[in-house]
Structure 1
Amino acid sequence: MQRVLITGASGFIGNHMTRRLRDLRIEVHAVSRAPRAPLHGEIWHQCDLRDEEATSSLMRAVRPQVVFHLAGEVTGTREVAMVPETLRGNLLTAVNLLVSATRTPAKLVFAGSVEEPRTGSAAPHSPYSAAKHAATGYAMLFHHLWNVPVTVLRIAMVYGPGQEDLSKLVPYVATELLRGRSPQVGSGTRLVDWVFVDDVVDALVAAALSDAADGRALDVGSGSGTSIRATVDLLHRLAGTAVAPIYGAIADRARDRAHIADVRPAEETLGWRAATPLAEGLARTLRWYADRLTPHNLTPAVSASAVPASTVPASTVPASTVCGAQPAFHGPFDEPEQQPR
């Protein structure tokens, strides 16, 4: 793997992926609909992947050995208006890359969603999960009919340093606590399968290097669920602030349910398993935010030096809030759904 193309390289996972591959001295080409300046020595291309000819021209120009398709229209809303947007942003872009790969051969690694249905009788629960599920179906079609080497990683709820979207749970709660404000969240009862961003990058690289992963859709997550309340409480303890989260301040999103990754196939096929415990990952993430908030935005009780650089014991997550690995119906991507609040 000497030359790769990353779609969605400006996003949360894409930025981590670009930095990792550049550290490995791999030539990285990145694509965006808007002009971008390189951050890690990557080469940027401007292209709308919803356009089949533009996508084919990009593939011919770059001739990548591997394509990491991380771009997508990410939303957890159930509005009818989101159907065409998610169809174009998640399904059409994937199909255009698949068609291009029949003419300009490349290994494809798609970021899917653990929210995708696993059985024929299970219905997608959002326009986003429906589009991701359809994209996975097309990926398997292109592999079996036209031998396109493609792997879909159905990624769970990703978190970690560098996630700047404050509509997501972890960035929102972390920054509110560090500023001395009480985060307002829902009931906190929903279970979430959290996976640290560096572990996701490891899985993406492993899939790119594995011939055994071709034609497979594999879950990437921790394999266990932690309630939103336990996650927020853990962030609260790590921040060491006097302010407390306010549960029930906002309504829970209708039809949300737990989506837990079945991690055994990824372990057997890729030799991959999530390595970062939740407590350690959250401590590293909180430290990242603390380092970047200006002093006047921090509460007097909190400073960057006060946030622990190391983890707290995993036992601080109450055992009653954790469920064991199990096959999932579905879950999220760059992020595979709006993170719950």
Structure 2
Amino acid sequence: MSAWQGTRTLVTGATGFIGAHLVRRLAGLGARVHAVSRRPQEATGHVERWHAADLCDATATASLVEAVQPEVVFHLASEVTGVREPGMVAPTLAGNLGAAVNLLTAVTGGPVRSVVLAGSVEEPRDGQAPSSPYAAAKAAATGYARMFHALWGVPVSVLRVAMVYGPGEPNAARLVPYVTTSLLKGEAPRLTSGARLVTWVYVEDVVDAFVLAGAGGGAAGHVLDIGTPEPVSIRDTAELLAGIVTDTVTDTGAGTMGDTGAGTVGGRARPEYGAVAARPLDRTQRSDIGPAARVLGWRPATTLEAGLRQTVAWYAKRM
């Protein structure tokens, strides 16, 4: 029998990319999944009950926790954006820091045995300035999680997740779905120079890490990187995708071939590098996965090429 059988779990951000995959996994393990989003959702076979609550509201958050009485909490709800605009400071502060603090406050002193917060690879390291309002708010939430653990014994851990990709990404503007769908349509994706190095991690590997962190108390108090050992440039990632799309189109005879000309090679569209300006303070991303291996016994199981092939195949079937 699964150790999760009958465990009351609360998943915030359950309609998001990682959240939807996590909910399915937990349900398959036999957990009693309570999911929350800002708006009411239709019931699914994976969720025992959907709750509608704005976690930026401390009273609503406290009422949610009181109603569910969760044993394990996964906090993935987040205002995700890389926009560098002053107008994004307040929304990301409320959505990433305020919501996390409200949730941590609500579970303090209660029966919860594990709380797992989704952090970000974008959080600054070694005294760096945050690169965006999102990065600043995520870093602050990590600091508050550490405080709640140290002062009041809240069994909370933070998983600083790298750039997640895989089937079912709802945000079509993110790099992997954008490049994939553009190429499958025979359109040239417009990118930066592609020189930036980023750390990728497949969504099911991320779910593995969350399940391990929530399963016992060993992760409490830890901040762990969840990624892959070596970063890959955006250009190399896009070129790998282009090769996989070419293989997919050749194998299936599906897809739209672009006209030979500017931005195409052999009738197939290719990425256009330098068409978009790089964002300020975009830095190389790195993940130190050693602590996650020691604390959780976790390592990524999916290579970038294998994960991208599964992702392209998923999109190709739906186009």
Give TM-score, length-normalised by structure 2: 0.89
Which residue is 2:60 aligned to?
54
1:198, distance to aligned residue in structure 2 (A): 0.2
Work out whether residues 210 and 270 of structure 1, in 8 Å CA contact, stay in contact via their aligned partners in 2.
Answer: no
Match for residue 153 of structure 1 among 153, 159, 166: 159
Aligned residues, how many? Answer: 292
Q: Deviations over 1:22-52 (max 9, x none)?
A: 1112111000111111334311001111111
User: How many Å separate the matches in 2 of 1:154 and 1:51?
Assistant: 25
User: How many Å separate the matches in 1 of 2:115 and 2:310?
Assistant: 31
Which residue is 2:32 aligned to?
27
Q: Give aligned-pair identity as a percent.
A: 55
Work out whether residues 18 and 40 of structure 1, in 8 Å CA contact, stay in contact via their aligned partners in 2.
Answer: no
User: How many Å separate the matches in 2 of 1:92 and 1:187?
Assistant: 35
1:103, distance to aligned residue in structure 2 (A): 3.9
Which residue is 1:116 aligned to?
123
User: How many Å separate the matches in 2 of 1:129 and 1:245?
Assistant: 28
Q: Deviations over 1:78-113 (max 9, x none)?
A: 211111111100001100111111143312100001
Per mean C-alpha deviation after superposition, the further-off stretch among 203-212 and 35-44 is: 35-44
The secondary structure found in structure 1 opposite 2:218 is: helix
Which residue is 2:241 aligned to?
235
Q: Deviations over 1:151-176 (max 9, x none)?
A: 00000000000013111000011001
Higher relative contact order (CA 8 A, sep 6+): 1
Which residue is 2:288 aligned to?
262
Work out whether residues 60 and 104 of structure 1, in 8 Å CA contact, stay in contact via their aligned partners in 2.
Answer: no
Work out whether residues 8 and 72 of structure 2, in 8 Å CA contact, stay in contact via their aligned partners in 1.
Answer: yes
Report the RMSD for the aligned CA atoms in angstroms: 1.1
For structure 2, the 5+ residue unaligned runs are 250-267
Match for residue 136 of structure 1 among 134, 142, 150: 142
User: How many Å separate the matches in 1 of 2:243 and 2:117?
Assistant: 36
User: How many Å separate the matches in 1 of 2:14 and 2:269?
Assistant: 36
Structure 1 stretches of 4+ with a deviation exceeding 6 A read none
User: How many Å separate the matches in 2 of 1:83 and 1:105?
Assistant: 34
Which residue is 1:283 aligned to?
309
Match for residue 274 of structure 1 among 296, 300, 319: 300
Which residue is 1:246 aligned to?
272
Q: Which amino acid aligns with 1:262?
A: D
For structure 1, the 5+ residue unaligned runs are 294-341
Give TM-score, length-normalised by structure 1: 0.84
Match for residue 68 of structure 1 among 66, 69, 74: 74
Work out whether residues 182 and 246 of structure 1, in 8 Å CA contact, stay in contact via their aligned partners in 2.
Answer: yes
Q: Deviations over 1:237-277 (max 9, x none)?
A: 11116221111111122221111101100001100011100
User: How many Å separate the matches in 1 of 2:44 and 2:187?
Assistant: 33
User: How many Å separate the matches in 2 of 1:116 and 1:192?
Assistant: 13
Work out whether residues 187 and 269 of structure 2, in 8 Å CA contact, stay in contact via their aligned partners in 1.
Answer: yes
The secondary structure found in structure 1 opposite 2:269 is: coil
Per mean C-alpha deviation after superposition, the further-off stretch among 282-291 and 175-184 is: 175-184
Match for residue 41 of structure 1 among 40, 46, 59: 46
User: How many Å separate the matches in 2 of 1:246 and 1:7?
Assistant: 37
The equivalences for 1:298-313 within 5 A come to none
User: How many Å separate the matches in 2 of 1:221 and 1:282?
Assistant: 15
